[in-house]
Structures are given as C-alpha cells and as structure tokens.
Structure 1
Amino acid sequence: MRKRYIELDNLWCHKKLAVSAIMEHLKNNEPSSYYLNAQFNEGWVIDNYDESYTVSMSFSVYEDSVDSNIDVHLQVFVKKNDVVGSVIRR
C-alpha cells in the first residue's frame, strides 16, 4: 500500500522512526542551510507485505550555488522489527 502525506506532523505520527532517521540525516549529512531552511513538500509511505516499509520525503531548500530553491528527496527503508536502513538521497 502507498500513502501520500502533505503534513509532516501526520507522517511523523505514522512513522516516527523513519522520519526521525531522515531528519537526523538532513541535519548531519546535508549542508546546514538545508536543515535550517528546509520546507517539507510531501512524504510517501510504502508498506510491504513482509511488514517492512519505505518512507520518502521531499523538501524544498535554498541552494546558494544556483541562487534558487531546489528539491531534496530523501528515502529510508525500514525492515520488519524496526531495523532502519541507511538514508539515501534521490
């Protein structure tokens, strides 16, 4: 099943572990201006039959090098029993 979220709070309430991992990645692995100015666009949850799931989140951030906003897409896969994988940037 695939579900779209347009409110970050709703996504966080549904998949706290994955959202926390993505936000931590954004804070620690992306330019600080991204984390400080990120505007949540949307998120997606894809639930798999084996109880694993994927969370994707899209943010609009200001990029100095192009003097414009860009979209940053981050994704994490969570295995059954809440084993969180690495966050990847798409």
Structure 2
Amino acid sequence: MRKRYTELNNLWCHKKLAVSVIMDHLKDNEPSSYYLSAQFKEGWVVDNYDESYTVNMSFSVYDESIDSNIELHLQVFSSKNDEIGSVTRM
C-alpha cells in the first residue's frame, strides 16, 4: 500500500522513527543552507507485504552554489522490526 502525505505532522504521527531519521540526516549530513531553508513538500509511505516499509520525503531547499531553490528527495527503508537503514538521496 502507498499513502501520500502533504502535512509533515501527519507523516510524523504515522512513522515517527523514520521521519526523525530523515530529519536528522537533513540536519547533520546536508549543507546547512538546505536544513535552514527546508520546506516540506510531500511524503510517501510504501508498506510492503513483509511488514517492512519505505518513507520518502521531498523538500524545497535553497542551494547556495546555484543561488536557487531545488527539490531534495530523501528515502529510508525500515524492516518489519523498525530497524531503520541509511538515508539515501533520490
């Protein structure tokens, strides 16, 4: 099953751990201008048959190197036991 979220709070309420991992990644591993300017656009949760799931989030962020806003897409996979994998850029 795939579900779309347009409100960050709703996504966070559904998948707190995965959203927290993505937000920590944004803060700790992306350029500071990305974190400081990040505006949540939308998110997706894809539930798999084996009870694992994937969370995708997209943000509008400011990229200083090109003096423009870009879209940043981040994804994380979780096993059915809520073991969260590494965040990847898409």
Structure 2 gap ranges (5+): none
In 2, the alpha carbon distance for the partners of 1:73 and 1:42 equals: 10
**1:60-79 map, 5 Å:** 60-79=60-79
- Cα displacement (A) at 1:84: 0.3
Q: TM-score, normalised by structure 1?
A: 0.98
Stretches of structure 1 that go unaligned for 5 or more consecutive residues are: none
> TM-score, length-normalised on structure 2?
0.98
> Within the alignment, does 1:54 sit opposite 2:54 as a pair?
yes
- Identity percentage over the alignment? 78
Letter of the 2:59 counterpart:
F
> Which ranges of 4 or more aligned residues in structure 1 deviate by more than 2 Å?
none
Q: Tell me, in whole angstroms, the C-alpha distance in 1 between the residues paired with 2:33 and 2:68.
A: 13
Map of 2:15 onto structure 1: 15
Alpha-carbon distance in 1 for matches of 2:74, 2:20:
12
Aligned length: 90
